[in-house]
Structure 1
Amino acid sequence: MLDFEFYNPTRIVFGKGTVAQLDRLVPADARVLVLFGGESARRTGTLDEVKSALGGRELREFGGIEPNPTYETLMRAVELIRSEKLDFLLAVGGGSVIDGTKFVAAAVRFDGDPWAILEGHGAGVTDALPFGSVLTLPATGSEMNSGAVITRKATHAKLAFMSPHVFPRFSILDPTKTYTLPPRQVANGVVDAFVHIIEQYLTYPVSAPVQDRFAEGLLQTLVEIGPKALAEAGNYEVRANLMWTATLALNGLIGAGVPQDWATHMIGHELTARHGIDHARTLAIVLPSLLRERREAKRAKLLQYAERVWHITQGTEDERIEAAIARTETFFNGMGIKTRLSDYGLDAAAIDGIVSQLEAHGMVALGEQEEITPQVSRRILEAAL
């Protein structure tokens, strides 16, 4: 096992009716900005429930945070906070709203051009406004980690940052808040969480059976409950387990002491930034081709994945590896998520632009071995056509 430092200060408040706990979680004298995405938070009554729980606290609202939160929109929230002298943020939504809130929290107190937060991947963040979240879409794990991904529309740049200053103080997870989600968002959430686990698990062995077993259990859970989450919108136990699995997929626990990949995400980010494809769907496009491209470097873990997650034990090593990758593709397709660039109207002409963006953003040595060069990324994308 590799050396590691694990720190996660986020309080999780899980269960039905837990939005009411905001009254004890948010300081009584806080001047609160509630950040959310579209009108679904208002239409479903969640926003009114949040406002009721906050009682007499001074309150402002900021809506319109996009599914891929943009720097341009978020900077308007920064200006509002500064002008109104607000001092506590509350994200109500999924990972995009929470990611956006993290950036806003850091940008308000940042000395200099806030875009430098993204260019430096969070290295320059020394302070941030306190914030909490009310999660309505299980997918990204942003409710219990210190990372965020932000897009700048003007340059088609989609960059990530991390900082210990932007852990949520708390996150409320009420599975009933997921009942009204469109099937597309549920499917995206399952696949997003699945690939988060894969990025931390499918690398190379470092004698970390605890993390491996955690990861494999989470993957098996998603395989089991993913289709049920689509078919049974009001099944509390299914939605509760999906919500908690997505949180555990990226709260730092399964990634402690093991090598991590994240090349699928870096390539996928460029697909989203340039072509507007849902984040989870870009991961479903890239991952199978990446695993085939990197099958030798990942051989031992791919064989372990085949046996422990998909129960594939027959055939040669290469046959078992290919069967496991094929089963992964079948799982994604079964969730209604296509796995080819052509499924989204893209052909070989799109690849040059994606590779150029990877180079422009310094993504020239990706993966756990730092061996995925732009040329390798090109082969991965070509194989995904």
Structure 2
Amino acid sequence: MQFTYVNPTVIHFGQGQIKSIRQAVDVSQKVLVIYGGGSIKRNGVYDQVVEALQNHTWIEFSGVEANPTKETLDKAVALVKEHNIEFIIAVGGGSVIDGSKYVAGAAKYQGDGWDILTREHTVTEAVPLGAVLTLPATGSESNMGAVITRKATQEKLSFGSPAVQPKFAVMDPDVMKSLPERQLLNGLVDAWVHVCEQYITMPTDAMVQDGYAEALLKNLLTLGKQYNQRDNDSWRANLMWTANQALNGLIGVGVPQDWATHMIGHEFTALWHVDHARSLAIVQPSLLRNQIEVKRSKLEQMGKNVFALEASADLAERTIEAIEAFYHSLNIATHFNDYQENKTTAIDNVVAQLESHGYLKLGENKAITLEKTREILESAIQ
């Protein structure tokens, strides 16, 4: 267990905290506010941001999609360059924040921004940015990662750089009051899988990381069971903070990480526009069953410490069943059949995309080859 850990994002958490951006951004800096659709104008978030920036010079860019595309984001990049923007504020969920990270990095690059996603350009300099979180799910508000889609080629790729980590994140649970049920459920599932990707790997002696991961999983399990009580301040605050801690880097330091579920799931989103979280729920149970022997010990640990299951020879199998039951309790599907082509062609398309991106060996052991991926997809796709 060796690591260097720092999280420089200043968190402003709690009701009424949107006003804190007044002090978080220097009044001398020219600001670009980036957001998605019109929901922030309907729920009052936009008005709060406008009030907080009343002494700043700022412009706005809207229209960032649920899966942010290079095609849309490049328009914001041009805006940053044209107006000499000095600070970006992302107002939205993970997609808007991820998209803003791309804009921040691409604006300091003279080439095609997609070079960042293909690793042809490494982001070492970016326009500083902050985030006003409206949908708890991805943890993007306090990490250095982003996932971007290229619509023209149906590619969905990720990048990371300390240069694009938000300087601050405003996390006001009140903004969740107007979220559609589908987005709340997606947030729960997304955070759950983020923890799993850093936890269901192989045994370690990292007591803090394991214990903290289990605490977060139990939080999410409880929030799922209390979903019908979601219209209260405590439920909202606990989901928002748990989702943040799931991917702020802490539980993953010094331990093996998987992320194969994400890499495969991204292709479902790129090809068929499946919600990110729902793509993860489709892939994960089949992947865990495929890799059960190498993950057996951690699955047994999860079964005991998270689901309170009794010890048995089939504890790992029952843990996967419990994970699947958790998704089903939220009306989240764990199989996929909404594709236009036949099953064989659908699987071929996913495998071909992964191969084109160089994802030939996935998982903490690099054991999920394209052949294994095909086996996983045979189970996940109906």
Task: Report the alpha carbon displacement of residue 348 of structure 1 after superposing the two structures with TM.
Answer: 3.8
Residue in structure 2 matching 1:173, options 146, 171, 174: 171
Partners in 2 of 1:344 and 1:231 — Cα distance?
32
State the secondary structure of the residue aligned to 2:361: coil
Off by >6 Å, runs of 4+ in structure 1 = 343-346
Please give the residue correspondences for 1:312-331 in structure 2 after superposition, counting only pairs within 5 Å: 312-316=309-313, 319-331=314-326
| Corresponding residue number in structure 2 for 1:258 | 255
| C-alpha distance in structure 1 between counterparts of 2:239 and 2:358, whole Å | 34
C-alpha separation between the residues in 2 aligned to 1:343 and 1:128? 39
Report the secondary structure of 1:50's partner residue. Answer: helix
Q: CA deviation at 1:344?
A: 6.8
**Unmatched tracts of structure 1, length 5 or more:** none
Kindly indicate whether residue 193 of structure 2 is the aligned counterpart of residue 195 of structure 1.
Answer: yes
Q: Which residue of 2 aligns with 1:232?
A: 229
User: Which of residues 374, 377, 380 in structure 1 aligns to 2:370?
Assistant: 374
CA distance in 1, matches of 2:163, 2:205: 31
What amino acid does structure 1 have at the position aligned with 2:315? Answer: R
Give 2:16's aligned residue. Answer: 17
SS in 2 for 1:132: strand
1:332 paired residue number: 327
> 1:341-361 CA distances to partner (integer Å, 9 max, x unpaired)?
126777343100000000000
What is the alpha-carbon distance in structure 2 between the residues aligned to residue 136 and residue 294 of structure 1? Answer: 35
Q: Percent identity?
A: 51
| 8 Å contact from structure 1 (residues 341, 347) kept in 2 | no
Amino acid at match of 2:131: S
Q: Distance in 2 between matches of 1:93 and 1:151?
A: 17
Give the AA of the match of 2:44. Answer: G
Q: Give the SS at the match of 1:256.
A: coil
Q: Of 298, 305, 311, which aligns to 2:308?
A: 311
Structure 1 residue 247 corresponds to structure 2 residue 244: yes
Q: Residue 226 of structure 1: CA displacement? A: 2.2
8 A contact 2:98–2:148 mirrored in 1 = yes
Contact 2:339 2:346 in 1 (8 A): no
Cα displacement (A) at 1:314: 3.7
> What is the CA-CA distance between 1:232 and the residue it aligns to?
3.1
Given residue 354 of structure 1, which amino acid in structure 2 is its aligned partner?
V
Cα distance in structure 2, aligned partners of 1:347 and 1:182? 31
The verdict on how the C-alpha distance between 1:359 and 1:214 changes in structure 2, with shifts beyond 3 A counting, is same
Task: Give the deviation of 1:234 after TM superposition.
Answer: 2.7
Q: Is 1:68 paired with 2:63?
A: no
Q: How many residues align?
A: 380
Q: Which deviates more, 338-347 or 198-207?
A: 338-347
Q: CA deviation at 1:86?
A: 1.4
* Distance in 2 of aligned mates of 1:180 and 1:46: 11
Q: Quick one: which of 193, 206, 210 aligns to 1:212? A: 210
Cα distance in 2 for partners of 1:348, 1:340 equals 15
Moved more, 195-204 or 230-239: 230-239
Indicate the SS of the match to 1:133. strand
CA RMSD of aligned residues (A): 1.3
8 Å CA contact 1:139–1:188 kept in 2: the answer is yes
Q: CA deviation at 1:22?
A: 1.1
TM-score under structure 2 normalisation? 0.97
Indicate yes or no: 2:295 matched with 1:288: no
- Inter-partner Cα distance in structure 1 for 2:346 and 2:32: 40
Deviation, 1:329, is 0.6
1:50-104, CA deviations, whole angstroms, 9 ceiling, x for partnerless residues? Answer: 0111112111111100000000100000001111111110000000000000000
Matching of residues 135-154 of structure 1 within 5 Å: 135-154=133-152
**Which amino acid in the other structure matches residue 348 of structure 2?**
D
What is the distance in 1 between the residues matched to 2:319 and 2:124?
43
Preserved contact between residue 28 and residue 56 of structure 2 (Cα < 8 Å): yes
> Cα offset for 1:376?
0.5
For 1:193-221, what per-residue CA distance to the aligned partner results, in whole angstroms no more than 9, with x for missing partners? Answer: 00000000000012111100000000000
Equivalent-residue separation in structure 2 for 1:168 and 1:25 (angstroms): 11
Tell whether the 8 Å contact from 2:272 to 2:339 is kept in structure 1 after alignment. no
Give the Cα separation in 2 of the matches to 1:14 and 1:105.
24
> What per-residue deviation string (whole Å, max 9, x for no partner) do you get for residues 94-146 of structure 1?
0000000000000000242211110018x611100011010010000000100
Question: Secondary structure at 1:377's aligned position in 2?
Answer: helix
Q: Are residue 51 (structure 1) and residue 46 (structure 2) matched? A: no
CA contact (8 A) 1:180 1:233 kept: no
More divergent stretch after superposition (49-58 vs 162-171): 49-58
For residues 314 and 250 of structure 1, the distance between their equivalents in structure 2, rounded to whole angstroms, comes to 30
Paired AA for residue 166 in structure 2: P
| Cα separation, 2, equivalents of 1:256 and 1:126 | 22
> Cα deviations across residues 272-299 of structure 1 (Å, max 9, x unaligned)?
0001000000000000000000011111
Q: 2:270 aligns with which of 269, 273, 298?
A: 273
- The within-5 A match list for 1:20-39 is 20-39=19-38
Q: Is contact 1:89-1:129 (8 Å) kept? A: yes
The 1:343–1:310 alpha-carbon spacing in structure 2 relative to 1, beyond 3 Å, is: farther
Greater Cα offset, 51-60 or 68-77: 51-60
Q: Which runs of 5+ in 2 are unaligned?
A: none
Structure 2 counterpart of 1:185: 183
* Separation of aligned partners in 1, 2:105 and 2:95: 16
1:90-109 equivalence runs, <5 A:
90-109=89-108
